[in-house]
Chains A and B, each alone.
Chain A
């Protein structure tokens, strides 16, 4: 539901600074500024920063570390006119979000939602929904029949759990499809590749690899291509890393789901600016972009 400034008890400090026409200090905290996604989000934040009267700053821990994310926000609390956050851990960050909101600092979530907190709105992709889309795509390319392995670089992460449940739900609607296992690949690129390699050797009769994130997607594609199993083993994954785009264009990966990270970063700032400007804001679905060999040329410069 839409929320607006009237219903919000803004900290006097912020109200005064808006009154005085000072630039808005918007902080965008991302859950791991060292992952491959962060540069896109940062680009969106920087685009938003170009607007007059907006100081947008991109912050967050190196490596997904809840403590570090909390400490940083806590430290910068007094300088914030608004915070957009993508939480390392929804449960761990919720109390802090609530504390900020209570202190009169508007907080929205983006990229990764924190629905149980007092955040105002969420901008991003519905993770369960995007998992469902991935599942559907996989079912489609398999014609409703086959053995599927799910891969993820962090099986225990919240976003991974959400996408996995969506994907399993969608795949479960097809009797002919069996989810063989969820492979936890680890995060190092070599490790990811080796894990897929070993798993495919242990069970050579897998028909589809469904990757839940940016990074095991190209690895799965590379494995398929290098072992001459293109078309024989289908790959569906996430995001538009260079390598992924190329593999989709070559028909190695059948489909990938984009979540427009740059837009997420931009919208995160924009929503807060809008809110502080007195206009109501509401949840924003940044959408599920589906790219297949047919339309992937759109994202190739």
Chain B
């Protein structure tokens, strides 16, 4: 490994209205290294990646490749330099097949009138997919029918489908199962062995420690420092750099609701819940003050659970809340009955992106903020300000568009929306996906406090630590059914994984 950087940023600055997203950042990437970039939400990581991708132009500063100054005016320019990027947000063509999506870049600069050979293309697409272990999906499958995890793999396959010198991965595994992630790490190591430089953005610090050669930490748009991944570097140290003060990372794990937490009355009673092709006869109850975790691999059925209970997906079976039956397919009824949903897909299903922070906060409880149909602005503002304060959301003003907030802060506003309705049951779907450690800890402590006040919480998550450490009880789904329940000391990674993979084990036998 030489010390001459393959890619270097010098004093790069990029501002947005009201924020300096990158503030005089100088950073060098060495050939063939895995270089992790970490930082709190909104620290400027994605902004840096977007600058490398040609999606954003820096306001000031220079970019050097192989020691030569270059301009990255657009995506094409970035590709010409051998840079390939997997963005934080999925960017696939939903009208195309898996194979076509993988080959998007390959076909980008073919002569326009060249005839595309179908079979060769399918084979070319299958190779990077196979590397990532996505072998059970035909290349001519419409990508829209894939799960989010599979889509993420397709996107990674696209990035490695061609010769690549610098591979940028911005939270590439936020939707992947542990097994899929492991496979991805293998691919990363193989590429590294082939001399590819890898820039890796993640909030999973253990992963970063396991994978990276060097780690750069960003805070508030600035590069705090770049450190070698020596054995003495640990999560605590990284967190300290990230948040700029001494914290005990174990704090966030000390929040687990006590098993002896006093449980109140059962509020949510789900019986024989079925969703065609996704869930078969699921039954469980949820009590006041309880945090019930739902774990399972992708496609186990857990991902439709939230929508089905809330009334967004057609379903069979009965759902009672406080003894009253919920009609299917009626979200307004669900809200009135006391259910709030925090959906997994923040951008597509969560935030009202074109509206302000305050408007988002009150949108699920509008009735409370109107008189004779007219909006009452003072209560709206006061309530929104109240929750922004309670959840410690960092915003410039209540009139700011939610689209301009960082992901963690968006999530807090959506949580506020769920709480403003005064729910008895809060359904959280991937509540901390893509959220930094600090914000995560805050959100967990808020949830715990809410549960202590008697709120019943259903937390559906792909992140095992989250489930293990913050649930008083865990349901594990596999192959469309509830495979089992765990509580108290039985909640261990091994126990959960055993249930989650039970079907596969049976099949394999």
A and B touch in the complex (CB under 8 A): no
Chain A residues with a Cβ under 8 A of chain B:
none
